[in-house]
Amino acid sequence: MARSCGPGLLLLLVVPPEVVADDMNPCCSYPCQHQGVCVRVGPRGYECDCTRTGYFGTNCTSPELWTRLHDLLKPGPAFFHFILTHFRWFWDIINRTFIRDTLMRLILIVRANLIPSPPTFNSDYGYISWEAYANVSYYTRVLPPVPDDCPTPMGTKGKQQLPDPQLLAERFLLRQKFQADPRGTNLMFAFFAQHFTHQFFKTSGKMGRGFTKALGHGVDLGHLYGDNLQRQHQLRLFRDGKLKFQVVDGEVYPPTVTDAPVHMVYPSAIPKEQQLAMGQEVFGLLPGLCMYTTLWLREHNRVCDILKREHPTWSDEQLFQTARLILIGETIKIVIEDYVQHLSGYFLSLKFDPELLFGTQFQYRNRIAVEFNQLYHWHGLMPDSFIIQEKEYSYEQFLYNTSMLMDYGVEALVESFSKQVAGRIGGGQTINANVLQVAVGLPRSRYPQQGQSLPGMIPLLKLSDVHLAGEEEKAAELEELYGDIDALEFYLGLLLEKPQPNGIFGESMVEIGAPFSLKGLLGNPICSPEYWKPSTFGGATGFEIVKTASLEKLVCLNVKKCPYVAFHVPDAAENGSPRRGGPSTEL
Protein backbone atom coordinates (compact mmCIF):
# COMPACT_ATOMS: atom_id res chain seq x y z
CA MET A 1 0.00 0.00 0.00
CA ALA A 2 1.15 3.54 -0.67
CA ARG A 3 0.33 6.76 1.13
CA SER A 4 -1.02 9.52 -1.08
CA CYS A 5 0.99 12.70 -1.16
CA GLY A 6 1.16 16.03 -2.90
CA PRO A 7 3.90 17.35 -5.16
CA GLY A 8 7.39 17.23 -3.69
CA LEU A 9 6.47 15.05 -0.68
CA LEU A 10 7.87 11.66 0.24
CA LEU A 11 5.87 8.58 -0.64
CA LEU A 12 6.44 5.23 1.06
CA LEU A 13 5.95 2.24 -1.19
CA VAL A 14 6.16 -1.33 0.02
CA VAL A 15 7.33 -3.54 -2.81
CA PRO A 16 5.34 -6.78 -3.11
CA PRO A 17 7.44 -9.77 -1.99
CA GLU A 18 7.05 -11.55 -5.31
CA VAL A 19 8.76 -8.63 -7.10
CA VAL A 20 11.94 -8.42 -5.05
CA ALA A 21 14.04 -11.02 -3.29
CA ASP A 22 14.05 -10.77 0.49
CA ASP A 23 17.59 -9.47 0.66
CA MET A 24 17.50 -7.15 -2.38
CA ASN A 25 17.59 -3.40 -2.07
CA PRO A 26 14.38 -2.13 -3.77
CA CYS A 27 16.27 0.97 -4.95
CA CYS A 28 18.34 -1.30 -7.22
CA SER A 29 15.53 -1.16 -9.78
CA TYR A 30 15.65 2.67 -9.82
CA PRO A 31 11.92 3.08 -9.25
CA CYS A 32 12.14 6.86 -8.71
CA GLN A 33 12.07 8.71 -12.02
CA HIS A 34 12.92 12.30 -13.04
CA GLN A 35 15.74 12.63 -10.50
CA GLY A 36 13.58 11.51 -7.63
CA VAL A 37 15.74 10.20 -4.79
CA CYS A 38 15.15 6.62 -3.65
CA VAL A 39 15.52 5.95 0.09
CA ARG A 40 15.23 2.40 1.42
CA VAL A 41 12.75 2.06 4.30
CA GLY A 42 12.47 -1.19 6.20
CA PRO A 43 13.41 -4.53 4.64
CA ARG A 44 11.30 -4.12 1.46
CA GLY A 45 10.06 -0.56 1.29
CA TYR A 46 11.37 2.62 -0.25
CA GLU A 47 10.51 6.28 -0.46
CA CYS A 48 10.73 8.50 -3.52
CA ASP A 49 11.69 12.06 -2.68
CA CYS A 50 10.19 14.11 -5.53
CA THR A 51 11.11 17.50 -4.05
CA ARG A 52 11.66 20.14 -6.75
CA THR A 53 11.65 17.61 -9.57
CA GLY A 54 8.45 18.94 -11.10
CA TYR A 55 6.83 15.52 -10.63
CA PHE A 56 4.87 13.74 -7.92
CA GLY A 57 3.29 10.37 -7.27
CA THR A 58 4.51 6.96 -6.25
CA ASN A 59 7.64 7.04 -8.40
CA CYS A 60 7.80 10.74 -9.35
CA THR A 61 6.12 10.03 -12.68
CA SER A 62 3.14 12.40 -12.57
CA PRO A 63 4.04 15.85 -13.91
CA GLU A 64 2.93 19.00 -12.18
CA LEU A 65 0.95 21.47 -14.29
CA TRP A 66 3.95 23.70 -15.02
CA THR A 67 6.06 20.68 -15.96
CA ARG A 68 3.34 19.45 -18.29
CA LEU A 69 3.15 22.83 -20.04
CA HIS A 70 6.95 23.10 -20.22
CA ASP A 71 7.33 19.65 -21.78
CA LEU A 72 4.52 20.39 -24.22
CA LEU A 73 5.95 23.70 -25.45
CA LYS A 74 9.72 23.16 -25.29
CA PRO A 75 11.29 22.01 -28.57
CA GLY A 76 13.80 19.17 -28.45
CA PRO A 77 17.60 19.51 -28.72
CA ALA A 78 17.53 18.59 -32.42
CA PHE A 79 15.36 21.65 -33.15
CA PHE A 80 17.74 24.06 -31.41
CA HIS A 81 20.75 22.45 -33.07
CA PHE A 82 19.14 22.88 -36.50
CA ILE A 83 18.32 26.55 -35.91
CA LEU A 84 21.80 27.36 -34.54
CA THR A 85 23.63 25.59 -37.38
CA HIS A 86 21.59 26.99 -40.29
CA PHE A 87 20.58 30.42 -41.64
CA ARG A 88 24.01 32.04 -41.51
CA TRP A 89 22.65 35.33 -42.85
CA PHE A 90 20.26 35.53 -39.87
CA TRP A 91 23.00 34.85 -37.30
CA ASP A 92 25.34 37.34 -38.97
CA ILE A 93 22.74 39.98 -38.12
CA ILE A 94 22.15 38.68 -34.57
CA ASN A 95 25.89 38.64 -33.84
CA ARG A 96 26.06 42.40 -34.43
CA THR A 97 23.23 43.28 -32.02
CA PHE A 98 22.50 43.20 -28.28
CA ILE A 99 20.51 40.02 -28.89
CA ARG A 100 23.79 38.10 -28.98
CA ASP A 101 24.43 38.99 -25.33
CA THR A 102 20.86 38.07 -24.38
CA LEU A 103 21.10 34.66 -26.03
CA MET A 104 24.55 34.00 -24.56
CA ARG A 105 23.30 34.83 -21.06
CA LEU A 106 20.34 32.49 -21.55
CA ILE A 107 22.60 29.67 -22.77
CA LEU A 108 24.95 30.07 -19.80
CA ILE A 109 22.18 30.18 -17.21
CA VAL A 110 20.19 27.28 -18.61
CA ARG A 111 23.21 25.04 -19.15
CA ALA A 112 24.97 25.82 -15.87
CA ASN A 113 21.80 25.32 -13.82
CA LEU A 114 21.68 21.70 -14.96
CA ILE A 115 24.77 20.87 -12.89
CA PRO A 116 24.12 20.19 -9.18
CA SER A 117 25.93 22.77 -7.07
CA PRO A 118 27.05 22.06 -4.41
CA PRO A 119 27.97 18.50 -5.44
CA THR A 120 25.79 15.61 -4.30
CA PHE A 121 27.33 12.14 -4.67
CA ASN A 122 30.60 10.36 -5.31
CA SER A 123 31.53 6.77 -6.13
CA ASP A 124 31.50 5.71 -2.45
CA TYR A 125 28.53 7.73 -1.24
CA GLY A 126 25.22 7.26 -3.03
CA TYR A 127 23.46 9.58 -0.61
CA ILE A 128 23.95 13.18 0.51
CA SER A 129 26.88 13.36 2.92
CA TRP A 130 29.51 15.80 4.09
CA GLU A 131 32.23 13.50 2.76
CA ALA A 132 30.77 13.59 -0.76
CA TYR A 133 30.73 17.38 -0.58
CA ALA A 134 34.04 18.13 1.13
CA ASN A 135 36.44 15.42 -0.04
CA VAL A 136 37.83 16.85 -3.29
CA SER A 137 39.98 13.75 -3.80
CA TYR A 138 36.88 12.26 -5.39
CA TYR A 139 35.28 13.08 -8.69
CA THR A 140 31.72 14.08 -7.88
CA ARG A 141 28.75 12.32 -9.51
CA VAL A 142 25.45 13.65 -10.81
CA LEU A 143 23.83 10.24 -10.47
CA PRO A 144 24.54 8.03 -7.44
CA PRO A 145 26.48 4.80 -7.91
CA VAL A 146 24.68 1.47 -8.14
CA PRO A 147 24.21 0.19 -4.57
CA ASP A 148 26.66 -2.55 -3.65
CA ASP A 149 23.91 -5.00 -2.72
CA CYS A 150 22.24 -5.03 -6.15
CA PRO A 151 21.98 -8.32 -8.09
CA THR A 152 23.63 -6.95 -11.26
CA PRO A 153 26.25 -4.26 -12.00
CA MET A 154 23.45 -2.11 -13.45
CA GLY A 155 21.01 -2.62 -10.57
CA THR A 156 18.50 -5.24 -11.65
CA LYS A 157 18.87 -5.03 -15.43
CA GLY A 158 21.22 -7.06 -17.54
CA LYS A 159 23.52 -9.93 -16.72
CA GLN A 160 25.44 -10.47 -13.50
CA GLN A 161 28.70 -10.14 -15.40
CA LEU A 162 29.39 -7.22 -17.76
CA PRO A 163 30.82 -8.06 -21.20
CA ASP A 164 34.57 -8.32 -21.62
CA PRO A 165 35.90 -4.78 -22.32
CA GLN A 166 38.47 -6.08 -24.83
CA LEU A 167 35.70 -7.76 -26.81
CA LEU A 168 33.53 -4.63 -26.72
CA ALA A 169 36.38 -2.39 -27.87
CA GLU A 170 37.46 -4.65 -30.73
CA ARG A 171 33.93 -5.33 -31.95
CA PHE A 172 32.35 -1.89 -31.63
CA LEU A 173 35.09 0.75 -31.30
CA LEU A 174 38.08 -0.45 -33.33
CA ARG A 175 38.48 1.57 -36.52
CA GLN A 176 38.08 -0.39 -39.74
CA LYS A 177 38.55 2.59 -42.02
CA PHE A 178 39.46 6.18 -41.22
CA GLN A 179 36.47 8.53 -41.35
CA ALA A 180 37.42 12.19 -41.54
CA ASP A 181 35.36 14.52 -39.41
CA PRO A 182 32.82 16.06 -41.82
CA ARG A 183 33.31 19.57 -40.42
CA GLY A 184 37.04 19.58 -40.99
CA THR A 185 38.16 19.34 -37.37
CA ASN A 186 41.96 19.06 -37.31
CA LEU A 187 44.74 17.75 -35.07
CA MET A 188 45.30 21.23 -33.63
CA PHE A 189 41.87 20.80 -32.06
CA ALA A 190 42.56 17.20 -31.02
CA PHE A 191 45.78 18.05 -29.19
CA PHE A 192 44.21 21.15 -27.61
CA ALA A 193 41.41 18.99 -26.19
CA GLN A 194 43.90 16.54 -24.74
CA HIS A 195 46.23 19.22 -23.40
CA PHE A 196 43.44 21.34 -21.88
CA THR A 197 41.52 18.54 -20.15
CA HIS A 198 44.56 16.89 -18.56
CA GLN A 199 44.72 19.68 -15.99
CA PHE A 200 41.54 18.36 -14.32
CA PHE A 201 41.18 14.76 -15.58
CA LYS A 202 43.79 12.89 -13.55
CA THR A 203 42.12 9.67 -12.47
CA SER A 204 43.95 7.86 -9.68
CA GLY A 205 43.41 4.13 -10.08
CA LYS A 206 45.73 3.35 -7.14
CA MET A 207 43.50 5.21 -4.69
CA GLY A 208 40.36 3.32 -5.71
CA ARG A 209 37.33 3.99 -7.86
CA GLY A 210 36.28 7.55 -8.52
CA PHE A 211 39.42 9.32 -7.25
CA THR A 212 41.38 12.11 -8.92
CA LYS A 213 44.99 13.20 -8.39
CA ALA A 214 44.18 16.74 -9.54
CA LEU A 215 43.94 19.19 -6.65
CA GLY A 216 41.98 21.64 -8.79
CA HIS A 217 38.55 20.85 -10.24
CA GLY A 218 38.64 23.20 -13.17
CA VAL A 219 40.84 25.58 -15.12
CA ASP A 220 43.82 26.17 -12.83
CA LEU A 221 46.60 25.49 -15.38
CA GLY A 222 48.02 22.78 -13.17
CA HIS A 223 49.18 21.11 -16.40
CA LEU A 224 51.52 24.07 -16.95
CA TYR A 225 52.49 25.02 -13.39
CA GLY A 226 52.25 21.64 -11.69
CA ASP A 227 49.41 20.33 -9.54
CA ASN A 228 51.22 20.87 -6.24
CA LEU A 229 53.47 23.52 -4.74
CA GLN A 230 56.64 21.42 -4.82
CA ARG A 231 56.29 20.72 -8.54
CA GLN A 232 55.48 24.36 -9.20
CA HIS A 233 58.65 25.49 -7.42
CA GLN A 234 60.76 23.04 -9.41
CA LEU A 235 59.41 24.55 -12.64
CA ARG A 236 59.79 28.21 -11.64
CA LEU A 237 62.80 30.37 -12.38
CA PHE A 238 62.16 32.57 -9.31
CA ARG A 239 63.20 35.63 -11.26
CA ASP A 240 60.77 38.16 -12.75
CA GLY A 241 57.87 35.75 -12.20
CA LYS A 242 59.03 33.46 -15.00
CA LEU A 243 59.09 29.73 -15.54
CA LYS A 244 62.30 27.86 -16.30
CA PHE A 245 63.17 27.40 -19.96
CA GLN A 246 65.94 26.48 -22.34
CA VAL A 247 66.93 28.21 -25.57
CA VAL A 248 67.60 26.11 -28.69
CA ASP A 249 68.50 27.87 -31.96
CA GLY A 250 67.22 31.13 -30.52
CA GLU A 251 63.81 29.68 -29.52
CA VAL A 252 62.40 29.10 -26.03
CA TYR A 253 61.36 25.57 -25.03
CA PRO A 254 60.56 23.78 -21.74
CA PRO A 255 63.61 22.88 -19.65
CA THR A 256 64.92 19.35 -19.32
CA VAL A 257 64.41 17.36 -16.15
CA THR A 258 68.09 17.84 -15.34
CA ASP A 259 67.37 21.56 -14.87
CA ALA A 260 63.85 21.17 -13.49
CA PRO A 261 63.87 17.86 -11.59
CA VAL A 262 60.16 16.99 -11.73
CA HIS A 263 58.85 13.47 -12.20
CA MET A 264 57.99 12.82 -15.84
CA VAL A 265 56.67 9.66 -17.46
CA TYR A 266 59.13 8.66 -20.20
CA PRO A 267 60.44 5.28 -21.38
CA SER A 268 63.58 4.31 -19.47
CA ALA A 269 65.60 4.32 -22.70
CA ILE A 270 65.19 8.11 -23.08
CA PRO A 271 68.02 9.92 -21.22
CA LYS A 272 67.14 12.73 -18.83
CA GLU A 273 68.92 15.24 -21.10
CA GLN A 274 66.16 14.59 -23.69
CA GLN A 275 63.24 14.57 -21.26
CA LEU A 276 61.29 17.84 -21.15
CA ALA A 277 60.06 19.00 -17.74
CA MET A 278 56.39 20.05 -17.82
CA GLY A 279 53.55 20.60 -15.39
CA GLN A 280 51.77 17.40 -16.44
CA GLU A 281 53.90 14.29 -16.07
CA VAL A 282 52.51 12.48 -19.15
CA PHE A 283 52.89 15.29 -21.70
CA GLY A 284 56.14 13.85 -23.05
CA LEU A 285 54.00 11.21 -24.77
CA LEU A 286 53.05 13.32 -27.80
CA PRO A 287 54.79 16.16 -29.68
CA GLY A 288 51.39 17.88 -29.93
CA LEU A 289 51.19 18.15 -26.13
CA CYS A 290 54.79 19.40 -25.95
CA MET A 291 53.93 22.01 -28.59
CA TYR A 292 51.04 23.44 -26.56
CA THR A 293 53.11 23.40 -23.37
CA THR A 294 55.81 25.37 -25.19
CA LEU A 295 53.29 27.94 -26.41
CA TRP A 296 51.86 28.49 -22.94
CA LEU A 297 55.35 28.62 -21.39
CA ARG A 298 56.33 31.34 -23.85
CA GLU A 299 53.06 33.15 -23.20
CA HIS A 300 53.59 33.09 -19.43
CA ASN A 301 57.08 34.56 -19.72
CA ARG A 302 55.89 37.10 -22.31
CA VAL A 303 53.14 38.27 -19.95
CA CYS A 304 55.69 38.49 -17.11
CA ASP A 305 57.82 40.83 -19.22
CA ILE A 306 54.79 43.07 -19.82
CA LEU A 307 53.89 43.11 -16.13
CA LYS A 308 57.50 43.80 -15.13
CA ARG A 309 57.62 46.87 -17.39
CA GLU A 310 54.39 48.22 -15.92
CA HIS A 311 55.18 47.27 -12.30
CA PRO A 312 58.95 47.41 -11.79
CA THR A 313 58.53 47.30 -8.00
CA TRP A 314 56.60 44.03 -7.97
CA SER A 315 58.19 40.93 -6.46
CA ASP A 316 58.80 37.72 -8.36
CA GLU A 317 55.88 36.15 -6.51
CA GLN A 318 53.36 38.83 -7.46
CA LEU A 319 54.50 38.77 -11.09
CA PHE A 320 54.12 34.99 -11.21
CA GLN A 321 50.73 34.89 -9.50
CA THR A 322 49.28 37.69 -11.63
CA ALA A 323 50.59 36.15 -14.85
CA ARG A 324 48.94 32.87 -13.87
CA LEU A 325 45.57 34.61 -13.45
CA ILE A 326 45.97 36.26 -16.84
CA LEU A 327 46.75 32.92 -18.51
CA ILE A 328 43.74 31.30 -16.81
CA GLY A 329 41.60 34.08 -18.27
CA GLU A 330 43.17 33.66 -21.71
CA THR A 331 42.52 29.92 -21.57
CA ILE A 332 38.83 30.32 -20.74
CA LYS A 333 38.44 32.94 -23.49
CA ILE A 334 40.05 30.65 -26.08
CA VAL A 335 38.07 27.63 -24.94
CA ILE A 336 34.70 29.39 -25.23
CA GLU A 337 35.22 31.55 -28.30
CA ASP A 338 37.45 29.27 -30.39
CA TYR A 339 37.27 25.71 -29.06
CA VAL A 340 33.61 25.43 -28.00
CA GLN A 341 32.63 27.63 -30.94
CA HIS A 342 34.12 25.11 -33.35
CA LEU A 343 32.81 22.15 -31.37
CA SER A 344 29.24 23.43 -31.43
CA GLY A 345 29.12 24.35 -35.11
CA TYR A 346 26.81 27.22 -34.14
CA PHE A 347 26.50 30.35 -36.26
CA LEU A 348 25.73 32.27 -33.07
CA SER A 349 29.11 33.71 -32.04
CA LEU A 350 29.76 32.54 -28.50
CA LYS A 351 31.09 35.15 -26.11
CA PHE A 352 33.23 35.03 -22.99
CA ASP A 353 31.90 37.80 -20.78
CA PRO A 354 31.55 36.97 -17.07
CA GLU A 355 29.47 40.11 -16.53
CA LEU A 356 26.60 38.40 -18.36
CA LEU A 357 26.05 36.35 -15.19
CA PHE A 358 26.46 39.15 -12.66
CA GLY A 359 23.28 39.61 -10.66
CA THR A 360 22.15 36.02 -11.21
CA GLN A 361 22.27 33.13 -8.77
CA PHE A 362 25.55 31.45 -9.67
CA GLN A 363 28.15 29.58 -7.59
CA TYR A 364 31.77 30.30 -8.46
CA ARG A 365 33.02 26.86 -7.59
CA ASN A 366 33.27 23.72 -9.66
CA ARG A 367 33.74 20.00 -9.13
CA ILE A 368 34.67 17.64 -11.95
CA ALA A 369 32.14 14.84 -12.31
CA VAL A 370 32.63 11.19 -13.21
CA GLU A 371 30.11 11.65 -16.01
CA PHE A 372 32.16 14.47 -17.56
CA ASN A 373 35.38 12.48 -17.27
CA GLN A 374 33.79 9.43 -18.88
CA LEU A 375 32.37 11.24 -21.91
CA TYR A 376 35.54 13.24 -22.65
CA HIS A 377 37.53 10.36 -24.15
CA TRP A 378 37.65 11.39 -27.79
CA HIS A 379 40.36 9.12 -29.15
CA GLY A 380 38.50 8.83 -32.44
CA LEU A 381 40.05 12.22 -33.31
CA MET A 382 43.47 10.58 -33.68
CA PRO A 383 44.49 9.78 -37.29
CA ASP A 384 46.11 6.60 -38.63
CA SER A 385 49.43 8.42 -39.02
CA PHE A 386 50.82 11.93 -38.58
CA ILE A 387 51.92 14.23 -41.42
CA ILE A 388 54.57 16.84 -40.57
CA GLN A 389 55.69 18.97 -43.52
CA GLU A 390 54.64 16.22 -45.96
CA LYS A 391 56.57 13.53 -44.08
CA GLU A 392 54.48 10.70 -42.64
CA TYR A 393 55.11 9.34 -39.14
CA SER A 394 53.65 6.14 -37.72
CA TYR A 395 52.58 5.93 -34.08
CA GLU A 396 55.84 4.17 -33.25
CA GLN A 397 57.79 7.08 -34.76
CA PHE A 398 55.55 9.77 -33.24
CA LEU A 399 55.08 8.67 -29.62
CA TYR A 400 57.75 9.94 -27.22
CA ASN A 401 59.56 11.60 -30.11
CA THR A 402 61.54 13.97 -27.94
CA SER A 403 63.38 15.64 -30.82
CA MET A 404 60.44 16.46 -33.13
CA LEU A 405 59.45 19.65 -31.28
CA MET A 406 62.86 21.29 -31.62
CA ASP A 407 63.79 19.73 -34.96
CA TYR A 408 60.72 21.17 -36.68
CA GLY A 409 59.93 24.11 -34.41
CA VAL A 410 56.59 25.28 -33.08
CA GLU A 411 55.53 27.06 -36.30
CA ALA A 412 55.92 23.93 -38.42
CA LEU A 413 54.02 21.74 -35.96
CA VAL A 414 51.18 24.27 -35.61
CA GLU A 415 50.77 24.54 -39.36
CA SER A 416 51.01 20.78 -39.90
CA PHE A 417 48.50 19.94 -37.17
CA SER A 418 46.17 22.72 -38.40
CA LYS A 419 46.15 21.22 -41.90
CA GLN A 420 45.69 17.53 -41.00
CA VAL A 421 42.07 16.48 -40.59
CA ALA A 422 41.03 14.58 -37.47
CA GLY A 423 38.77 11.55 -37.33
CA ARG A 424 35.12 11.38 -36.40
CA ILE A 425 34.39 10.51 -32.77
CA GLY A 426 30.83 9.16 -32.80
CA GLY A 427 29.05 6.38 -34.63
CA GLY A 428 31.22 3.45 -33.57
CA GLN A 429 34.38 1.85 -35.01
CA THR A 430 36.28 5.15 -34.97
CA ILE A 431 39.31 4.46 -32.71
CA ASN A 432 42.72 3.62 -34.17
CA ALA A 433 44.21 0.33 -32.96
CA ASN A 434 47.19 2.13 -31.41
CA VAL A 435 44.99 3.94 -28.87
CA LEU A 436 42.30 1.30 -28.46
CA GLN A 437 43.69 0.15 -25.12
CA VAL A 438 42.60 3.45 -23.57
CA ALA A 439 39.00 2.53 -24.36
CA VAL A 440 39.59 -0.99 -23.03
CA GLY A 441 40.85 0.45 -19.75
CA LEU A 442 37.87 2.74 -19.14
CA PRO A 443 35.56 -0.03 -17.85
CA ARG A 444 37.77 -0.20 -14.75
CA SER A 445 35.46 2.60 -13.59
CA ARG A 446 32.41 1.39 -15.49
CA TYR A 447 29.56 3.85 -15.38
CA PRO A 448 26.05 2.42 -15.82
CA GLN A 449 23.00 3.90 -17.50
CA GLN A 450 20.90 3.16 -14.42
CA GLY A 451 17.61 3.51 -16.30
CA GLN A 452 17.26 7.23 -15.55
CA SER A 453 18.26 10.62 -16.87
CA LEU A 454 20.94 13.08 -15.95
CA PRO A 455 19.21 16.07 -14.32
CA GLY A 456 17.50 18.28 -16.87
CA MET A 457 19.34 16.59 -19.72
CA ILE A 458 18.12 14.05 -22.21
CA PRO A 459 17.67 10.46 -21.01
CA LEU A 460 20.77 8.33 -21.05
CA LEU A 461 21.21 6.21 -24.15
CA LYS A 462 19.55 2.87 -24.67
CA LEU A 463 20.34 0.16 -27.15
CA SER A 464 17.44 1.32 -29.30
CA ASP A 465 19.44 4.48 -30.06
CA VAL A 466 22.05 2.35 -31.80
CA HIS A 467 19.44 1.47 -34.40
CA LEU A 468 19.50 5.12 -35.47
CA ALA A 469 22.95 4.54 -36.92
CA GLY A 470 21.54 1.81 -39.17
CA GLU A 471 23.42 -0.87 -37.25
CA GLU A 472 20.59 -3.25 -36.34
CA GLU A 473 22.91 -6.25 -36.37
CA LYS A 474 25.29 -4.61 -33.89
CA ALA A 475 22.38 -3.50 -31.72
CA ALA A 476 21.14 -7.07 -31.53
CA GLU A 477 24.65 -8.26 -30.65
CA LEU A 478 24.92 -5.65 -27.88
CA GLU A 479 21.58 -6.69 -26.47
CA GLU A 480 22.76 -10.28 -26.41
CA LEU A 481 26.03 -9.32 -24.69
CA TYR A 482 24.42 -7.11 -22.03
CA GLY A 483 21.21 -9.08 -21.64
CA ASP A 484 18.90 -6.06 -21.45
CA ILE A 485 18.27 -2.89 -23.40
CA ASP A 486 18.86 -0.73 -20.31
CA ALA A 487 22.20 -2.27 -19.33
CA LEU A 488 24.37 -0.62 -22.01
CA GLU A 489 27.17 1.40 -20.44
CA PHE A 490 27.33 5.18 -20.64
CA TYR A 491 30.67 5.54 -22.46
CA LEU A 492 29.98 2.88 -25.06
CA GLY A 493 26.51 4.23 -25.72
CA LEU A 494 27.83 7.74 -26.33
CA LEU A 495 30.40 6.52 -28.87
CA LEU A 496 27.87 4.35 -30.71
CA GLU A 497 25.18 7.01 -31.02
CA LYS A 498 24.60 8.27 -34.53
CA PRO A 499 26.46 11.59 -35.08
CA GLN A 500 24.43 14.72 -35.62
CA PRO A 501 24.17 15.91 -39.24
CA ASN A 502 27.57 17.32 -40.20
CA GLY A 503 28.67 16.78 -36.58
CA ILE A 504 31.58 15.31 -34.67
CA PHE A 505 29.41 13.12 -32.45
CA GLY A 506 25.82 12.49 -31.36
CA GLU A 507 23.24 14.61 -29.62
CA SER A 508 23.76 13.06 -26.21
CA MET A 509 27.45 13.98 -26.08
CA VAL A 510 26.54 17.63 -26.69
CA GLU A 511 23.54 17.80 -24.38
CA ILE A 512 25.32 16.08 -21.51
CA GLY A 513 28.79 17.57 -22.03
CA ALA A 514 27.90 21.23 -22.62
CA PRO A 515 26.49 21.93 -19.11
CA PHE A 516 29.60 20.48 -17.44
CA SER A 517 31.86 22.50 -19.72
CA LEU A 518 30.16 25.87 -19.35
CA LYS A 519 29.64 25.50 -15.59
CA GLY A 520 33.31 24.60 -15.17
CA LEU A 521 34.50 27.55 -17.24
CA LEU A 522 32.24 30.28 -15.86
CA GLY A 523 32.40 28.83 -12.34
CA ASN A 524 36.08 29.77 -12.19
CA PRO A 525 36.75 32.36 -9.46
CA ILE A 526 38.26 34.83 -11.96
CA CYS A 527 34.77 35.11 -13.47
CA SER A 528 33.24 36.28 -10.20
CA PRO A 529 32.42 39.96 -9.50
CA GLU A 530 35.16 39.99 -6.84
CA TYR A 531 37.87 38.96 -9.32
CA TRP A 532 36.68 40.21 -12.72
CA LYS A 533 38.26 43.69 -12.71
CA PRO A 534 41.51 45.20 -14.02
CA SER A 535 43.41 45.15 -10.72
CA THR A 536 43.19 41.35 -10.56
CA PHE A 537 45.19 41.14 -13.76
CA GLY A 538 47.73 43.85 -13.00
CA GLY A 539 45.76 46.72 -14.48
CA ALA A 540 44.15 47.64 -17.79
CA THR A 541 46.91 46.09 -19.91
CA GLY A 542 46.64 42.65 -18.30
CA PHE A 543 42.84 42.82 -18.39
CA GLU A 544 43.00 43.60 -22.10
CA ILE A 545 45.26 40.57 -22.71
CA VAL A 546 42.54 38.37 -21.22
CA LYS A 547 39.63 40.01 -23.03
CA THR A 548 41.28 39.87 -26.48
CA ALA A 549 42.86 36.41 -26.26
CA SER A 550 42.46 33.94 -29.12
CA LEU A 551 44.10 30.80 -30.43
CA GLU A 552 45.59 32.79 -33.27
CA LYS A 553 47.13 35.37 -30.89
CA LEU A 554 48.45 32.68 -28.56
CA VAL A 555 50.44 31.23 -31.44
CA CYS A 556 51.38 34.32 -33.41
CA LEU A 557 52.59 36.36 -30.45
CA ASN A 558 54.93 33.54 -29.47
CA VAL A 559 56.56 32.54 -32.77
CA LYS A 560 58.71 34.43 -35.26
CA LYS A 561 56.46 33.86 -38.28
CA CYS A 562 52.70 33.41 -37.92
CA PRO A 563 51.56 30.14 -39.56
CA TYR A 564 48.06 29.04 -40.55
CA VAL A 565 46.35 28.30 -37.25
CA ALA A 566 42.77 27.21 -36.61
CA PHE A 567 40.75 24.32 -35.23
CA HIS A 568 39.66 23.31 -38.73
CA VAL A 569 41.57 22.43 -41.86
CA PRO A 570 41.80 25.25 -44.44
CA ASP A 571 39.20 23.80 -46.80
CA ALA A 572 36.59 23.70 -44.03
CA ALA A 573 36.59 27.49 -43.90
CA GLU A 574 34.86 27.52 -47.27
CA ASN A 575 32.42 24.71 -46.44
CA GLY A 576 30.20 26.10 -43.74
CA SER A 577 32.56 26.46 -40.79
CA PRO A 578 31.41 29.23 -38.43
CA ARG A 579 34.92 30.67 -38.52
CA ARG A 580 36.44 31.72 -41.83
CA GLY A 581 40.17 31.71 -42.47
CA GLY A 582 41.11 31.41 -38.81
CA PRO A 583 39.80 32.21 -35.37
CA SER A 584 38.47 35.71 -34.91
CA THR A 585 40.05 37.96 -32.31
CA GLU A 586 37.00 40.19 -32.17
CA LEU A 587 35.37 40.54 -28.76
Q: Annotated catalytic sites, by residue?
A: 198, 376
CA distances to 16, 147, 365, 536 from 19, rounded to whole Å, are: 6, 18, 43, 61
Smallest CA-to-CA distance from 178 within 490, 471, 427 is with 427
Task: Give the phi and the psi of residue 340 in degrees, each rounded to 5.
Answer: -65, -35
Question: 581: how many CB neighbours lie within 10 A of its CB?
Answer: 12
Query: Which are the contacts of 365, defined by CB distance < 8 A and separation ≥ 6?
Result: 117, 118, 523, 525
Residue 441's identity, in one-letter code, is G
Nearest to 332 by CA among 537, 113, 187: 537
- The phi, psi pair for 429, rounded to 5°, reads 55, 50
| Dist. CA 390–CA 329, nearest whole Å | 35
Q: Helix 287-310 to helix 187-197 angle, to the nearest 10 degrees?
A: 70
- Residue 204 near residue 212 (C-beta atoms within 8 A): yes
Name residues whose C-beta falls within 8 Å of residue 354's C-beta, 6 or more positions apart in sequence: 522, 526, 527, 528, 532
Nearest-Å Rg of the Cα atoms of the chain is 25
Judge contact between 475 and 155, C-beta under 8 A.
Answer: no
CB atoms near residue 434 (< 10 Å): 17
